[in-house]
């Protein structure tokens, strides 16, 4: 089973979309293993978005991510990284397919509702950045047998 990170961004918080976003992941069958609201700092964002530090919009991204607290989530499931990333849709909400989170709720590149990990390696790094080990929980999901065939896990 894979674990992956989702950050529900300030725009989603302000627009009161948190329940809708979490609900989509739960209805898909992903297990919520960690969930908390945090205020991001300049230092954490500089690390998290280091790959964009040379871009002219980097300062705007950091400022936008600190407008309100964010919600960080750990989701678990078979192929969870791929599933969550696909459910989010293209980064640019104007290009994201309807039915995806960004396609349904975003018309922006930056104000695009969620951040999701894009690979297993990235997910591990990002989960360690935002969660202590004791903040990610392992528990039996009651509907597990109805989510996967017995030869899938």
- 39 near 66, Cβ under 8 Å? yes
pLDDT at 21: 98
**Side by side, which strands form the sheet with 31-38?**
31-38, 70-77, 2-8, 114-116
Residues serving a catalytic function are 115
- 116 near 122, Cβ under 8 Å? no
Q: What is the pLDDT along the chain (153 residues), one digit of tens a residue?
A: 999 999 999 999 999 999 999 999 999 999 999 999 999 999 999 999 999 999 999 999 999 999 999 999 999 999 999 999 999 999 999 999 999 999 999 999 889 999 999 999 999 999 999 999 999 999 999 998 899 998 887
Beta-carbon neighbour count of residue 121 at 10 Å? 10
Domains, the chain, ordered by start: 2-38+68-147 (3.30.70.141)
**pTM greater than 0.85 (yes/no):** yes
């Amino acid at each position: 089973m894979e674990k992956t990170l989702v950050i529900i961004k300030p725009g989603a918080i302000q627009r009161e979309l948190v329940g809708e976003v979490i609900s989509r992941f739960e209805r898909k069958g992903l297990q919520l293993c960690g969930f908390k609201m945090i205020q991001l700092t300049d230092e954490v964002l500089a690390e998290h978005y280091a790959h964009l530090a040379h871009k002219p919009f980097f300062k705007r991204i950091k400022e936008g991510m600190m407008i309100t607290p964010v919600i960080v989530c750990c989701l678990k499931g078979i192929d969870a990284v791929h599933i969550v990333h696909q459910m989010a849709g293209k980064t640019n909400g104007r290009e994201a397919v309807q039915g995806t989170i960004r396609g349904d709720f975003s018309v922006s590149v930056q104000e695009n509702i969620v951040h999701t990990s894009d690979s297993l390696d990235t997910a591990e790094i990002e989960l360690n950045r935002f969660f202590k080990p004791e903040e990610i929980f392992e528990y039996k999901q009651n509907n597990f047998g109805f989510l996967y065939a017995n030869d899938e896990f």
